[in-house]
Chain A
């Protein structure tokens, strides 16, 4: 990028299953106000506003238009981007492009979803091809059920490993005041929860949350003048898999998988040899427990087929060698349009040392945030407290 770009502020709503007290614009406004306050700014200082959300989830066409007043877009430059679950990260990438281009100094990025106003499972089934896929589509649950079955058969992981991921998420979420689900649960509770599609149980799948996240990006001069703890965006990468390449849902497939390809590229850009020592904390987008285990492997935190060992050995716990999702992750909070941005914001809070109850107990210099869209693509964002790396 031609200019360095920093996160100079951000904010999120308290996420919940029901927000009958607010409309969509009112809910998103909460996150925008929180971000402006965190950055010590007024909306008048913002040069451009970028919004991300999926119109089918709420049945509202052109949400950016409806929300223009509540997000401060009135009279300002702006665009709306829609890339599925990745959109929160795509919006940050778009904001970074805006700042790096030299045309804008301060850009407000917003992701949100008010899932209670739609039917997520029905809408996610409509991701599938209308002629060849929709009649057998099982939304996100069906997809991860296939992945998980394949993983267990190939590598000897058990349902207990999945349950351990869920318990870790719950324990961390209880420390995060903004998390949606703050459950006190055991491995047995997870294994006794209702089966959705073998082997995925209710507690192993993310919830449908209402919530929003907003982040303010700025150029280097503004960041240094205005922000005590700027967090720098050091690299970004996006990769998709074509939807009919079904083979990679077989976890032993040798076909390139979007997540692994993207991780390899972003490590190459940054010269990362050992991600486990390079990063101090990682926030992954895990719509289901098994996705977190797959991320361990795709991010090269361990060898292929060894991901479940990391949770067994506690390496990804909040006080482990490489903490993953100290926030409680997507299993605890999933307001889809905001979810990928929350990964980035939580990673930034860790670098700032401002994560509060779920701050990891060590110095955090660098963090990686992942995203998951449409079951087959990602957008990765690498953050640092320094522009030197």
Chain B
């Protein structure tokens, strides 16, 4: 990019299964207040526009950003809502700043999964004519993707469980995580089957929570903080919709989104040039598959990559030092949480989960079943 955009502050709620004490706006305000206080920025004076990520259907409110207009600074000002994963707020926010229209933007993603039923919501993403009546949801679709992945490349249950073991252990070092612990591969494989071959402990649990972030133009970012994190590359891409139209193990959209972000960031060998990756693993198999899509290993080599220990905290390229989504991150919030965790690493404030000498990080988010739309963000010092 000719000009850079910087992340100047991030805040995350602790994720928990049910936040009955707050409504969506109050939940959002917890993190908005923190990023404003941390930077000393004032909404009216300093924030040019706001972007939120959420879905009406999760929020149970039509055009649901109407419910957060006040807390996000929308009153008499510019606020836009994206009905996508939170990572796209960083993508579109950065584009807004590069366009010259805005200099400082507040980003937000929020979901209270406890307010509704994920299977019903997910089923509504299947179109009403051919597939909704089959009862498909994101979990059953993921099971098809996982099975295809195992069959095509000989990926084993144990290799998938190893990703879950690593991430649940990493999550115990993350104060935002709700689900964590030191488990064995055997523990994972003994947990109930949710949709064969996916086990309960290999699936992100439902939680409530929010993440806020402030990004700014290079000039403004340097004035706001001594320690900005630069957004060096961004990329998005859609895959085809119908499951039968895709080879679910090809990661076509992720590879294209990553190629765009890497090109912008000057990365041609991610394994050498990237210090850590935060990716959206709603299910443990997605970590292996997305590692392939992000070019950390060849097609079909995701199982060997996790077995090698390279992706562990302390390994050559730690993947999800935060614990990833298995630690419990709400739908839609997950991508902004990935970017936030990657930013904390570059700021070197990730405490117990800090990757030593982290200078370049990759964050990934996706929308739609089996990762139909991918968004990749490259961050650097």
Contacts and interface: CB of A to CB of B under 8 A. Distances in A.
B100 A100 contact: yes
B57 interface: yes
A94 B63 contact: no
A87 to B, nearest CB: 9
B56 A77 contact: no
A152 interface: no
Interface of A: 1-3, 23-24, 49, 54-57, 59-62, 64-69, 73-84, 90, 93-94, 96-103, 117, 123-124, 126-127, 129-131, 236-245, 256, 258, 261, 373-374, 376-377
Given A2-B99, A66-B125, 16 more contacts: A2-B98, A54-B63, A60-B124, A61-B125, A64-B238, A65-B241, A65-B367, A75-B237, A76-B237, A94-B80, A100-B98, A101-B96, A102-B98, A124-B62, A126-B62, A240-B79
Interface in B72-106: 74-84, 88, 91-92, 95-96, 98-101
A75 B238 CA distance: 5
A66 B92 contact: no
Contact of A55 (B57, B77, B79, B369): B57
A49 B369 CA distance: 19
A40 B234 CA distance: 29
A100 B367 CA distance: 26
Interface string B99-140: 111000000000000000000011011011100000000000
Interface in B131-153: none
A253 B87 CA distance: 40
Contacts of B2: 102
A80 B82 contact: yes
Given A55-B57, A75-B237, A1 B83 contact: no
A101 B98 contact: yes
Contact of A96 (B74, B99, B125): B99
A123 B2 CA distance: 44
22 contacts: A23-B127, A23-B129, A24-B127, A54-B56, A55-B57, A56-B56, A61-B121, A61-B125, A64-B84, A65-B125, A66-B241, A76-B237, A77-B236, A80-B84, A83-B63, A83-B81, A97-B101, A101-B95, A239-B77, A241-B75, A242-B70, A256-B76
B284 interface: no
Contact of A68 (B63, B75, B124, B241): B241
A179 B124 CA distance: 31
Q: Please indicate which of the listed interface residues B57, B67, B80 has the most CB atoms of chain A within 10 Å of its own CB.
A: B80
A240 B122 CA distance: 30
Contacts of A126: 60-62
